[in-house]
Amino acid sequence: MKKLVKLILQNSIDVNPLTPFLFDPTFHKPDHFTTGDNYWEKGIKWQSWNWQNTPVGIKFIDSGTVKNPVVKIEIYAKNKLSDEFVESLIAEIKYLYNFELDLTDFYNTFKNDDFLKQIIQKWKGMRPGHPSCLYEYLIVGMVLQNASVRRSVQMFKVLLENYGTNVEFDGKNLWSFWTVGDLSNVSEQDLRDLKVGYRAKSIKKLDEYFSKGLINETELRKKDRETQQQELLKIYGVGPATVWYLLFDVFHHWDFFNHISPWEQKIYSKLFFDTDTTAPVSVEKLFKYIERFRKYKHLAIHYIWEDLWWKRVNKNIEWLEKEIRL
DNA sequence: CATCAGGGCCCTG
DNA sequence: CAGGGCCCTGAT
């Protein structure tokens, strides 16, 4: 059993995202399966975070309105934090949750779109968002490969509980991500024993690759999309499907949409063409349909996707349950 | 019980 | 550039 690290409140900062801002669907994505590292209830999100190799706990509190948004960010840590540490962490949070993304043009462009208009109305102020740095998101991407949701959850959890840090803050007991290089003394067989399967090799190589400094997230964020794609594909165990997630969530390309996985194909077919999920339309036809969202292709899909999963939070969607196999 | 297909990717021919 | 193999799990 790992030692529990108790974190205490060190800083509390109010941040103003751009309006409109909708707290809950920005901080809680029902389709993000990651468990053990976060907890959500209406208006509050608890999230573990590994920042500069220091485990911290963050409590986001909805403290404003859609038109006049305020997010209170409480930072919990073992020891007092430097101003530099706090400032850089806040900047990273603003980036990852897109506090400064201006959604006006997106909303205006599609205010009359048959498919999007109701969804935009309902979720006005929702931003793409997640708490993962590139290394962490790559781990997530790898456990998503060739696995059902249930299995992905199990793999993520077992990795966190073996290599992460168990933290407690504000009455929540969560797991915080390990640091790049922490797997240097972990063998591929150790990882296999955790039942991550063939991904053991990819995870091990990923940790080595980042340890050697062969990739720099900060620099890569500044490069163009083609360069980012090329750099990501160099990493062992990373292919087009994993890159597709990263380009949106980590690198914030709202326009680019080049991959549809088999289960997503079934779901888009149902949504856009109302086909039975046993007889989905072709991926080519789906791409053609998605073209209508032009420079906001992936952002539009994010809105549509989240809308679907929030519906499921409130009521069972029979055809969807069959596909996701939670 | 056995067999097989997954929310990919690598490697071979 | 097509297709087999890979780990594990749950469905049949």
Average confidence (pLDDT) per 10 residues, chain A, 326 residues: 91 98 97 90 98 98 98 98 98 98 98 96 98 96 91 93 97 97 96 95 97 96 96 96 96 95 90 87 93 96 95 84 70
Residue A154, CB, strand C, below 7 Å: yes
Domain annotation covers residue A76: yes
Which range marks the domain in which residue A279 is found? Answer: 262-324
Residue whose structure tokens are 């997010």: A71
Give the separation between CA A257 and CA A244, rounded to whole angstroms.
7
pLDDT of A280 reads 87
| Element housing A91 (H / E) | helix A83-96
The residue from A101, A127, A151 where one domain ends is A101
Q: In the complex, which nucleotide's C1' lies nearest to the CA atom of residue A151?
A: C9
The single-letter code of the amino acid at A133 is C
The Cα angle at residue A185 between residues A181 and A188, in degrees rounded to 5: 100
Q: Give the max Cα distance, chain A.
A: 58
Give the domain CATH number at A79. Answer: 3.30.310
Give the separation between CA A22 and CA A123, rounded to whole angstroms.
7
Domain annotation covers residue A287: yes
B8 C1' to A82 CA distance, Å: 42
pLDDT of A124 reads 98
Domain annotation covers residue A226: no
Give the separation between CA A321 and CA A83, rounded to whole angstroms.
47
Q: Which residue is nearest to nucleotide C9 (CA to C1')?
A: A151
A 27-86 residues, CB < 7 A, strand B: 31, 33
Domain annotation covers residue A31: yes
Residue A325, CB, strand C, below 7 Å: yes
C6 C1' to A197 CA distance, Å: 8
The residue from A69, A86, A101 where one domain ends is A101
Give the separation between CA A152 and CA A10, rounded to whole angstroms.
34
Q: Which of A48, A45, A80 is nearest to A62 (CA)?
A: A45
A 236-255 residues, CB < 7 A, strand B: 236-243
CB distance A58 to A37 below 8 Å = no
Residue A30, CB, strand C, below 7 Å: no
The residue from A101, A118, A141 where one domain ends is A101
Domain annotation covers residue A91: yes
A56 - beta bridge partners?
A49
Number of domains in chain A: 2
Domain annotation covers residue A130: no
Give the separation between CA A256 and CA A236, rounded to whole angstroms.
23
Which pair of structure tokens corresponds to residue A112?
């009359």
B10 C1' to A46 CA distance, Å: 38
B3 C1' to A235 CA distance, Å: 34
Domain annotation covers residue A44: yes
Supply the DSSP string of A98-143, one letter for each residue. Answer: TTT---HHHHHHTTT-TTTHHHHHHHTT--------HHHHHHHHHH
B6 C1' to A49 CA distance, Å: 32
- The nucleotides of chain C lying under 7 Å from a protein CB are 6-11
Q: In the complex, which nucleotide's C1' lies nearest to the CA atom of residue A325?
A: C10
Give the separation between CA A73 and CA A52, rounded to whole angstroms.
18
pLDDT of A35 reads 86
B2 C1' to A149 CA distance, Å: 25
Q: Which of A54, A49, A303 is nearest to A176 (CA)?
A: A49
A 142-161 residues, CB < 7 A, strand B: 144-149, 151-152
What's chain A's length in residues?
A: 326
Domain annotation covers residue A235: no
Distance of alpha carbon A81 from its chain centroid, rounded? 26
